[in-house]
Structure 1
Amino acid sequence: MNFLFEIGLEELPSRYVDEAESNLKKIAEKELKEERIAFSGIESFSTPRRVAIIVKDIAEKQADLDKKSVGPSVEIAYKDGALTKAGEGFIKSQGATPDDVKIIENEKGKYISIEKFIAGKPTKEVLPEILSNVIKKIEFEKSMKWSDRTFRFARPIKWFVTLLGTEVLPFEFEGLKGGKKTRGMRYFAPQDVEISNPDEYVSKLRKNSVIARKAERKAEILKSIKENCENDGDVAIINNYLLEEVVNLVEYPFAIKGEFNADYLDLPEDIITITMETHQRYFPVKDANGRLTNKFIVIRNAPEYSEVVKKGNEKVIEPRLADAKFFFDEDLKGKFADNVEKLKEVTFQKDMGTIYEKIQRSKKIAEYLADELGYGAKKKNILRTVELSKADLVSNVIAEKEFTKLQGFMGSVYAEKQGEDKEVALGIFEHYLPRYQNDILPTTIEGALAGIADKIDTVVGCYSVGLKPTSSKDPYALRRAVQGIVQVALDSKLELNYEKLVEKAYEIFAADKKVLDKNVVKNVVELFKQRLSNVLGEKYSKDLISYEINLENNIVKLNDRLSVLLELSKTENFETLINLLKRVKNIVKDNKDEIKISENLFEKNEEKAIFNLGNKLELLENKEFANYIQVLLNNANVINNYFDNVIINTDDETIKNNRVSTLKKLEKSIDKMINI
């Protein structure tokens, strides 16, 4: 027997649909398990007007329960043969009487216990309360009350389907009763569709112009685009984020292709596509040669074509593009660099100051980076990139038109059109990179260093004024910023010491603003280690990363060290070496005293050999890491032979201390290169 539960709604915002479906399934699964109702699986469904689940093979009754509860120890539960308050409290909490008490004994002693047999109730008796709990536990970022109801939900609930097998499960919530009737697509199908049993739910809805499965709706969108809009050689530009949004705006999609005035193609492509995607939820269209066309694709929420809908959307897009063109032309009338002064009026964050002040700090950081990394010849361009990096934030296209997704891109366009160096113009766009996971990375040193300077100022500034990320919130995306710095440094092969960078950024910020936290450098360095481990974890194991993460602050050199260890870890002797080094560390871990080693006290050749190995490794410490580790690996037998043939904890205290000090000398050198 299957159970269908559907919550019918007024249209949900697209961003809530997936969340509501996921939460309904997850919460229902948890509640059913807690109530001991067995089932073989749960399938979930969603459209803008409904979220639903089908519980497969649901049991007809709860499982019986033999419940055994252990209470306080006998000494605590009884005093002078009478129950104490602790004993009485436990018995009462179990709904039992003193006669139900049993004494059990385990390795810790004797305890009082209550054993109860709870017979399972019929599922149809338990389900209504479960459904009420499920509905109440589905949460949204924003919710509302409606009519005279006290309950809050993302949108008003209009109906319930509660079908247990072929029978309606009696259920009522906020005055709405469960039934077997759902609703087809608004305007194109009956609003009174009867479901006879859960197995016909999907097919019955489809006959009434509703595709209940998201994956099938997405496939239908792509199919409709291909059949209706790409049959003449045109190709839709399908960005996944827009597809994910549109699929939750429709119950049955139909793709329609429209056109707009070709004169608007003189605008930068990104303005056109952002206008279509962000403001209209249209898919842009390219021709067979990959050029952007004056066409768009709208996904209609209907099972059929409409010329009226086509014409209506064509009328809507033209004013949008006209606005964009007006603001773009207005921006080009003024001098782009003059926008920098306007940033004095734009607050970045109340304790961190204006965006103008942020730029001045970032310029100082960028100058430090240029000198530190050997890009003095490029310093003028790098500082110009930082200077102009935020100038487009007060442009008409972004500030008035609210095309925030074009930050950096518009600055790049304006800068190039007004004669800035091409690498400066490109760097303005690239300083935002990477913007999201798997995004492209900067190709210019201007973009790379301007981006690092901007990001590290944000991170250090936020930590300085008490805006550290928490486990659940990171409103200023500080983790992403640090991860971006790491990715750019690795990709551009920048020999960047992140600890020095943090110290420099902190020094610059502290000279400009009041610092509210004393542990900024320490905390930001720790954040770098976490993000480094995250990025490098894609290539290296946690163990390898742990060996080096606290020893090397240069991001590129750290990666190089791990690359060496990765190759060596594939050899058969590597694990043996690691175990030997752990053994060395364990022996000397409690040795705090520095005792001068006396070669005259060596009694065996193995002592001399390990002493010489320590000397040899000390000479290699500041040289190539790969060579050091290779020498260490090649001499694993020296350490092994030492342990096999030398007794360290000998009765002679002087000899014992000399041997421990010999190992300490070796361990100190190794610890600088690989921290086991």
Structure 2
Amino acid sequence: MVQDFLLEIGTEEIPARFLPGTLVELREKAVSLLNEARLPHGPVRSYGTPRRLVLLVEQVASKQETAVEEIKGPPLSAAYDASGQPTKAALGFARSQGVPVEKLVVRQVGKTAYLFAVKEKPGREATVVLAELCPRLIRSLSFQKPMRWGDKELRFVRPIRWLVALYGDTVVAFSLDGLESGRVSQGHRFLSAGPVCIANPAEYFTRMEAARVIVDSAVRQRLISEQIERLAAAEGGVVPPDAELLEEVVNLVEHPTAFCGTFPEKYLELPRAVLVTVMREHQRFFPVCDRDGRLLPRFIAVHNSAPEHTATIRRGNEQVLRARLADAAFFYREDLATPLADRIEGLKKVVYQEELGTLYDKTERLCALVAHLAGAAGLGHDDRAALFRAAYLAKADLLTNMVYEFPELQGVMGQEYARKNGEPEAVAVALYEQYLPRFAGDSLPQTAAGRLLSIADKLDNLVGCFGLGLIPTGSQDPYALRRQALGICQIIIAGKLHLSFRAMVDLAYREYGGKLKNEPAQVFAELADFFKQRLRGIFGERGIAPEVTEAVLAAGIDDLYAAYLRAAALHEFRRDRRFGDLYTAYTRAANLSRTAPAREPDPAHFTDPAERELYAAVQALREKIKPKLATHNYRSALEELCALRPPVDIFFDAVLVMDENPVLRENRLALLRAAADLVRGIADLAKISI
């Protein structure tokens, strides 16, 4: 016999951003607990609305599976005497396990035979097991900001108000912090007539729909998308795809009704980003565009009330949006009265970070960093001028009314105001691009000035935080340092920039002028490890094998773009039949010489032609691969280095490396080290197995 199991956790309204992750966790932990409890089941699904978390487990067995436990006892040699009678060891073990001595079995463990007691634990009824698992499951759910309410001890995302737990037609009875489970749910807060009695899991979704609750978020999303598309088409427009906003709106409602509202056309004179931000970020409205992508004085919103209230809700939302846009228009006019350059002095009064100085201090650091980066990247005169001006103006828009009211518009308004102030277009674009990428999958800076300003800004943040010991741990990353380090790597690789990581970090550290607590060597080492982890992710996304990545990272990351090129070249060359020759030559040379000091071998101490042959090969290969390494042609360099195989093999056949004479021994190790270092400059092939 199998039955479906339903668990509904009824709550006060859960913030939309918490729902997706919580539903994944609910399903995964339910599967884990059911398997741990030996309770066979079918598919497990989770659903959610702002007021409920729902778990549906199909085809749950009526009983646990029988558990078989084997407990190891004494060795067989000590369990029976010469006449075959059980010894005290065997009798005592059987008695302690509650098993007749004649029921003990023999199991081989390695080369030794032992007695084992085999005990079966019969399965319990599903309702009993589920009653134990439900409180454990609910308490195990984790949230960024859990809360307690009243005098309760349970910590949860929002107060729990009711619990439904049904195994088929049977209530799974359990208590949780004073609440008793049952079969009574609640419908829509405004649209349902009252409590909803659920007879069994099979009728749950239809009963809830009758109570004006659409439990399945996928169904709510489809309904909202269809309504939005229909309303936009009626206005002769379209709604640009916005999966993030759509997901949030889906998780704000239980019974969605979309409507189209309007705002005065005069506000279309505001920058597009301002209009979209006000609608999207602050009101959760979908902007409407014409077929050419121009904004229309329309918006689409979704409410959670009765359709007959739509007209009233529309008027209220239109009033709120008009007020917001009127404020934005006022801020915009006021901001334009003061050019960005005139705001720089005000940065001296704004603290960037309590221990790292003001925004003016940060601006000065940015100017120093971009001066170094411009030289290292070989920027031309015009790009240099744009970069230096953009670095000087980089944080000025943070003092504008618009950015103060709408922080999401930092950089966006810098670009807009720079254009209005008559700054060169390259400067305006760089002010916007300094914050890219802002999230996973975001676009990268496309201009030379924008790339380097973005790198400088993020590097300054990283060095400052690491210098104070503010390093991300676990899931905690309040300063978004992982995203910023990843952004630097992505910008450098996409922009094909050859920049010295150490030089950048050292300069950024010096520019803090003694404000940092940690020593520069520690900051550099921790940042290098931090960046290596970001590179692992990037290389993995591009199909580079993990062991190839580790081999390349072991050879150093001072030039981040070169590290990527080395990894890509080695990944491809690994498929070449000649890779085996290179791998063998390297590992034979490297294994013995890894701890040897790096120094030039002395030909005066060679005693065998094989030494001279290997030395000549190393010298020749150095010259051959030098121009290839200089131009980052690592594939060709790897092909050349395959020539090491014959002289290395001959050397090992002819020479005893670990000679008793320390002078000969050390000279031979130095020779092997020199051979291995030719390859190690690209990758440490010992990290790879073939």
- With the length of structure 2 as denominator, give the TM-score of the two structures: 0.86
Q: Does 1:633 align with 2:639?
A: yes
Per the alignment, residue 210 of structure 1 pairs with: 213
The Cα shift of 1:410 comes to 0.9
Per the alignment, residue 649 of structure 2 pairs with: 643
What secondary structure is seen at the aligned counterpart in 2 of 1:235?
coil
Structure 1 residues 390 and 97: CA distance shift in structure 2, 3 A = farther
The Cα shift of 1:611 comes to 3.8
Q: Deviations over 1:45-102 (max 9, x none)?
A: 111111111111111112222223559999xxxxxx999xxxx9x999x998999999
Per the alignment, residue 77 of structure 1 pairs with: none
Match of 1:573 among 566, 575, 578: 578
Match of 1:349 among 331, 350, 353: 353
The Cα shift of 1:264 comes to 0.9
Name the count of aligned residue pairs: 659
The answer for unaligned runs of 5 or more in structure 2 is 77-86, 686-690
Per the alignment, residue 244 of structure 2 pairs with: 241
> Structure 2 counterpart of 1:312, which letter?
G
Q: Contact 2:625 / 2:637 at 8 angstroms: preserved in 1?
A: no
What secondary structure is seen at the aligned counterpart in 1 of 2:155?
coil
Partners in 2 of 1:262 and 1:617 — Cα distance?
A: 71
Q: Contact 1:182 / 1:191 at 8 angstroms: preserved in 2?
A: no
Q: Deviations over 1:633-668 (max 9, x none)?
A: 356366147537962565994899576665444223
Per the alignment, residue 23 of structure 2 pairs with: 21
> Structure 2 counterpart of 1:586, which letter?
N
Q: Contact 1:597 / 1:662 at 8 angstroms: preserved in 2?
A: no
The Cα shift of 1:197 comes to 2.3
Per the alignment, residue 12 of structure 1 pairs with: 14
Structure 1 residues 468 and 177: CA distance shift in structure 2, 3 A = closer
Q: Contact 1:648 / 1:659 at 8 angstroms: preserved in 2?
A: no
Match of 1:290 among 283, 290, 293: 293
Q: Deviations over 1:349-406 (max 9, x none)?
A: 111111221111111111111223223624343222112111111211122x2x1110
Q: Deviations over 1:18-52 (max 9, x none)?
A: 23322322222222222221212211111111111
> Structure 2 counterpart of 1:127, which letter?
L
Structure 1 residues 257 and 165: CA distance shift in structure 2, 3 A = same
Q: Contact 2:253 / 2:304 at 8 angstroms: preserved in 1?
A: yes
Partners in 2 of 1:65 and 1:653 — Cα distance?
A: 63
> Structure 1 counterpart of 2:375, which letter?
D
Per the alignment, residue 670 of structure 1 pairs with: 679
Q: Which moved more, 1:188-197 or 1:127-136?
A: 188-197
Structure 1 residues 596 and 8: CA distance shift in structure 2, 3 A = same
Partners in 1 of 2:204 and 2:498 — Cα distance?
A: 60
Per the alignment, residue 485 of structure 1 pairs with: 488
Partners in 2 of 1:433 and 1:459 — Cα distance?
A: 15
Q: Deviations over 1:223-280 (max 9, x none)?
A: 1111233234211134222112111001122211110111111111111111111111
Per the alignment, residue 443 of structure 2 pairs with: 440
Give runs of aligned pairs for residues 392-411 of structure 1, distance below 5 A. Answer: 392-399=397-404, 401=405, 403-411=406-414
TM-align CA RMSD: 3.5
Structure 1 residues 91 and 139: CA distance shift in structure 2, 3 A = farther
Partners in 2 of 1:668 and 1:138 — Cα distance?
A: 52
Per the alignment, residue 83 of structure 2 pairs with: none
Q: Does 1:52 align with 2:57?
A: no
Give runs of aligned pairs for residues 33-52 of structure 1, distance below 5 A. Answer: 33-52=35-54
Give runs of aligned pairs for residues 149-160 of structure 1, distance below 5 A. Answer: 149-160=152-163
Partners in 1 of 2:338 and 2:671 — Cα distance?
A: 73
Match of 2:558 among 529, 553, 559: 553
Partners in 1 of 2:142 and 2:270 — Cα distance?
A: 43
Structure 1 residues 620 and 263: CA distance shift in structure 2, 3 A = same
Q: Contact 1:169 / 1:178 at 8 angstroms: preserved in 2?
A: yes
Fraction of identical pairs, as percent:
33
Per the alignment, residue 509 of structure 2 pairs with: 506
Partners in 2 of 1:406 and 1:127 — Cα distance?
A: 50
What secondary structure is seen at the aligned counterpart in 1 of 2:188?
coil
The answer for unaligned runs of 5 or more in structure 1 is 75-80
The Cα shift of 1:137 comes to 1.9
Partners in 2 of 1:169 and 1:628 — Cα distance?
A: 65
Q: Contact 1:3 / 1:58 at 8 angstroms: preserved in 2?
A: yes
What secondary structure is seen at the aligned counterpart in 1 of 2:181?
strand
Q: Contact 2:600 / 2:674 at 8 angstroms: preserved in 1?
A: no
Per the alignment, residue 415 of structure 2 pairs with: 412
The Cα shift of 1:451 comes to 1.6
What secondary structure is seen at the aligned counterpart in 1 of 2:471?
coil
- With the length of structure 1 as denominator, give the TM-score of the two structures: 0.88
Per the alignment, residue 260 of structure 2 pairs with: 257
Q: Which moved more, 1:584-593 or 1:356-365?
A: 584-593
Q: Which moved more, 1:180-189 or 1:310-319?
A: 180-189
Match of 2:330 among 326, 335, 340: 326
